[in-house]
């Protein structure tokens, strides 16, 4: 299956992801931020498809966009204060925070400039048809222990969330 | 340019796999138009069938036997005033029906109407369908929240809680069907080593696995396939907020739930999304358990004559409908007021007969086979939806959640484990 | 333009990461901070999947585990938020200062 218009889709999808990221951190209304995050997650699923990872893209759509964001929207609706209390958006130490993020950005730029020779430009084309099978074999073979620990982690998270959100313990 | 268009016609794959953007676009337009027409027909059928269940006649005035009623409804909805509640969040209010619509329609990318009649055949077809259909929960939550009034908010919370709960049960049923694609044997209990037994998530692959194993997954490991199908059939009715699980949009309980504040064209977008979601999940059920586009008994009754017999069904169906329309013409009152309706119904019957005769022509007959059987099976599910709505009383919300979590989910897990055990042992 | 290689995806992931860090460090609403944490996790996932295209499927398996963990962490974080909101009636992170001197 030959890819079609890779360059356009890459710039479109990554632009959508970054723009939605900017909207997440700059909107006053948390519901708008959640909406922007949903679009960003769906665009990122498209990026995963371009990276020949269809199973991860499907998992991203089901779990992240269809599960976690529903959770976020529920909680936003539950803790929604009266609209008139629109406080300011940015907290008291926003200057230091911004400086720290800029320092991190400068660090990333240095890493990329110095290490550009280390990132190979090979555009490898793994076989796409058996991606799910191979991930399944790896999950149940090599990473079996991590799989079981992940299920235990989810059980702990469920119990913790239920206990914490109950009215009386 | 021209051979870009014609080069696809000689290939034997879906447009997505051939990478042909033009034909993919054409297929998308065909599917989009077909679903819109199907939603209008479904609207008419629902009102007529519900009326006949309740021993009354339903819409009879607008066209002959109410055939133009959906068009009249569409015109009415388009010309209504568009009211946005005060202090409602305008952007979220506007985008919520669009999210539901896009999520419901994006599922049709992978619905297989035939071995090559799909827009594309994703490697992760069923995973994609489940994921995208779960995005409509977001639209419902946002519709309820943006209306800035408590009835829609409660309706939206209840509806999304219900949909999320029944998605889990649906997932269990789907996984047990996908498990069956990786089995080797033929027939319901898998004797012998008939097929290669590669499991697959792609929709076309699942249907072809049913054909290779010579059995619909409904009857595979009977009663396990049947129970899995039953779980999916119940969960899909709850997933689309239809009766008997329609508490979130019931009129007597919640004044129409999350779409209370939507009027006119926006409300019709909700209904379009809901009917499209109904057809989409029915397509999933048909593909996974009912053998997709294959005619009944493709392996047991093979040969030229049986192929010929079964290929006459599309034409016979349309001729039967034409006969019903002409009987209706005979039974029309002979009053001059009904002259236009009589002529209209006779014309409709003539169109149906004409389509039936076209479907007898051999080239058309061969190509229309797959699409006809698929649409016929999905149409059966649509009739079941209407039947449920007419017959069953509504579930209370706590009963609904109890059924979803405490009844369907344990049965689903049990079916999954038993299917896996039988698959290994047999 | 150069064909899209790994470095392009890494730059996008780095930009997303920085956006998430800015969101965590400068926003006042706890829910938006949690959403910025999801942005950070997504950037890491994109990084993992971009590298897994070169060096085998281990990156994708790791990305699946990261998504699972993000779900668990979001659930617990929002549970804490609800419990805190029930006591203090605010989602303002500047007012979470009961332990300050």
In the predicted structure, residue B383 carries a pLDDT above the cut 80: yes
In the predicted structure, residue B72 carries a pLDDT above the cut 90: yes
A24 touches chain B (CB under 8 A): no
Q: How far apart are CA B94 and CA B70, in angstroms?
A: 24
Query: Which of A12-21, A74-83, B199-208 ranks highest by mean pLDDT?
Result: A12-21
In the predicted structure, residue A84 carries a pLDDT above the cut 50: no
A131 touches chain B (CB under 8 A): yes
> What digits encode the pLDDT tens for the residues B8-23?
777 777 777 777 788 8
CB-nearest to C75 from A6, A101, A157 is: A157
pLDDT value at residue A82: 54
CB-nearest to A66 from B87, B137, B145 is: B137
How far does C12 lie from chain A, in Å, by closest CA?
7
Predicted confidence band of residue A86 (pLDDT cuts 50, 70, 90): low
DSSP annotation of B187 reads T
> What digits encode the pLDDT tens for the residues B126-156?
999 999 988 999 998 888 888 877 778 888 8
pLDDT value at residue B155: 81
> What digits encode the pLDDT tens for the residues B288-311?
999 888 888 887 777 888 888 888
Before B223, cis peptide (omega within 30)?
A: yes
A128 touches chain B (CB under 8 A): yes
Report how far apart, in Å, the C-alpha atoms of A76 and of each of A18, A63, B187, B257 are.
23, 18, 52, 20
CB-nearest to B145 from A31, A57, A66 is: A31
pLDDT value at residue B254: 55
Q: Do C67 and A64 touch (CB under 8 A)?
A: yes
How many other CB atoms sit within 10 Å of the CB of residue A146? 16
How many other CB atoms sit within 10 Å of the CB of residue B338? 14
pLDDT value at residue B19: 72
Which chain A residues are closer than 8 Å to C20 by Cβ? 21, 25
Higher pLDDT, B67 or A85: B67
Residue with tokens 């019709």: B268
Which chain A residues are closer than 8 Å to C25 by Cβ? 93-94, 96-98, 100-101
Mean pLDDT along residues A47-55: 90
Predicted confidence band of residue B253 (pLDDT cuts 50, 70, 90): low
pLDDT value at residue B296: 85
DSSP labels for B331-389? TS--SGGGHHHHHHHHHHHHHHHHHHHHTTSHHHHHHHHHHHHHHHHHHHHHHHHHHHH
Mean pLDDT of chain B: 87
What are residue B186's phi and psi, to 5 degrees? -100, 155
- Cα-Cα end-to-end distance for chain B: 54
pLDDT value at residue B255: 64
Mean pLDDT along residues C45-62: 89
How far does C101 lie from chain A, in Å, by closest CA?
17
Query: For a pLDDT cut of 90, what percent of chain A falls above it?
Result: 47
How far does A117 lie from chain C, in Å, by closest CA?
10
Mean pLDDT along residues A143-149: 94
> What digits encode the pLDDT tens for the residues C19-29?
999 999 998 88
Mean pLDDT along residues A75-83: 71
A137 touches chain B (CB under 8 A): no
Mean pLDDT along residues B226-250: 88
Mean pLDDT along residues A120-148: 80
Q: How far apart are CA A21 and CA A141, in angstroms?
A: 36
CB of B373 closer than 8 Å to CB of B294: yes
CB-nearest to C76 from A21, A30, A157 is: A157
Predicted confidence band of residue C88 (pLDDT cuts 50, 70, 90): confident
Instruction: Quote the ipTM score.
Output: 0.90
pLDDT value at residue B251: 55
The residue of A16, A38, A51, A82 whose CB has the most chain C CBs within 10 angstroms, and thus the best one to mutate to test that interface, is: A51
pLDDT value at residue A2: 58
């Amino acid at each position: 299956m030959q890819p079609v218009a890779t360059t356009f889709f890459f710039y479109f999808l990554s632009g959508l992801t970054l723009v939605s990221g900017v909207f997440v951190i700059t909107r006053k209304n948390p519901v708008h931020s959640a909406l922007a995050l949903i679009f960003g997650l769906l665009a990122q699923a498209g990026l995963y498809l371009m990276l020949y990872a269809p199973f991860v893209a499907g998992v991203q759509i089901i779990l992240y966009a269809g599960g976690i964001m529903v959770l976020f929207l529920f909680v936003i609706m539950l803790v929604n204060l009266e609209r008139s209390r629109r406080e300011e958006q940015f907290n008291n130490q926003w200057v230091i925070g911004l400086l720290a993020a800029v320092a991190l950005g400068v660090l990333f730029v240095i890493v990329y400039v110095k290490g550009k020779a280390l990132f190979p430009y090979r555009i490898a084309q793994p076989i796409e048809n058996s991606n799910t099978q191979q991930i399944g074999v790896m999950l149940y073979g090599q990473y079996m222990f991590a799989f079981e620990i992940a299920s235990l982690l989810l059980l702990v998270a469920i119990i913790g969330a239920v206990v914490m959100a109950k009215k009386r313990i | 340019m021209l051979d870009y268009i014609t080069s696809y016609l000689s290939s034997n794959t879906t447009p997505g796999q051939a990478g042909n953007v033009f034909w993919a676009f054409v297929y998308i337009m065909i599917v989009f138009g077909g679903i819109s027409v199907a939603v209008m027909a479904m609207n008419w059928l629902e009102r007529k069938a519900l009326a006949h269940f309740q021993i009354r006649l339903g819409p009879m005035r607008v066209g002959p036997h109410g055939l133009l009623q959906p068009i009249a409804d569409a015109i009415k909805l388009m010309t209504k005033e568009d009211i946005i509640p005060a202090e409602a969040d305008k952007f979220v209010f506007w985008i919520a029906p669009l999210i539901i619509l896009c999520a419901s329609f994006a599922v049709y990318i992978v619905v297989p109407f035939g071995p090559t009649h799909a827009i594309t055949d994703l490697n992760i077809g069923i995973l994609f369908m489940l994921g995208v259909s779960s995005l409509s929960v977001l639209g419902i939550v946002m519709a309820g929240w943006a209306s800035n009034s408590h009835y829609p908010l409660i309706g939206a919370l209840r509806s999304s809680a219900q949909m999320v709960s029944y998605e889990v049960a649906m997932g269990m049923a789907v996984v047990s069907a996908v498990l069956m694609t990786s089995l080797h044997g033929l027939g319901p209990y898998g004797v012998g080593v008939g097929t290669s037994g590669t499991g697959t998530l792609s929709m076309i692959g699942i249907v072809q696995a049913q054909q290779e194993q010579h059995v619909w997954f409904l009857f595979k490991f009977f009663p396990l396939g049947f129970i899995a199908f039953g779980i999916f059939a119940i969960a899909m009715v709850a997933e689309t907020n239809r009766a008997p699980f329609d508490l979130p949009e019931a009129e007597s309980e919640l004044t129409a739930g999350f779409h209370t504040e939507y009027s006119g064209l926006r409300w019709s977008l909700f209904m379009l999304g809901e009917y499209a979601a109904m057809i989409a999940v029915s397509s999933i059920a048909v593909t996974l358990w009912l053998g997709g586009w294959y005619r009944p008994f493709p392996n047991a009754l093979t040969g030229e004559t049986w192929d010929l017999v079964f290929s006459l069904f599309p034409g016979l169906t349309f001729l039967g409908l034409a006969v019903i329309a002409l009987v209706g013409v005979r039974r029309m009152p002979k009053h001059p007021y009904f002259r236009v309706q009589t002529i209209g119904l006779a014309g409709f019957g003539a169109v149906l007969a004409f389509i039936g005769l076209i479907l007898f022509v051999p080239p058309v007959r061969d190509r229309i086979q797959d699409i006809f059987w698929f649409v016929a099976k999905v149409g059966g599910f649509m009739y079941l939806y209407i039947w449920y709505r007419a017959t069953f009383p509504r579930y209370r919300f706590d009963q609904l959640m109890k059924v979803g979590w405490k009844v369907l989910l344990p049965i689903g897990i049990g079916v999954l484990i038993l299917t896996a055990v039988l698959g290994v042992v047999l | 333009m150069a064909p899209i290689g790994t470095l392009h995806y890494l730059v996008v992931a780095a930009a997303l990461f920085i956006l998430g860090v800015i969101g965590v460090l400068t926003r006042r609403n706890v829910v938006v901070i949690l959403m910025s944490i999801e942005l950070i996790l997504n950037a890491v996932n994109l990084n993992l999947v971009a590298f897994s295209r070169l060096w085998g499927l281990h990156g994708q398996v790791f990305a699946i585990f990261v998504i699972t963990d993000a779900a668990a962490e979001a659930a617990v974080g929002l549970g804490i938020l609800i419990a805190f909101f029930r006591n203090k009636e605010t989602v303002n992170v500047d007012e979470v200062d009961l332990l300050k001197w």
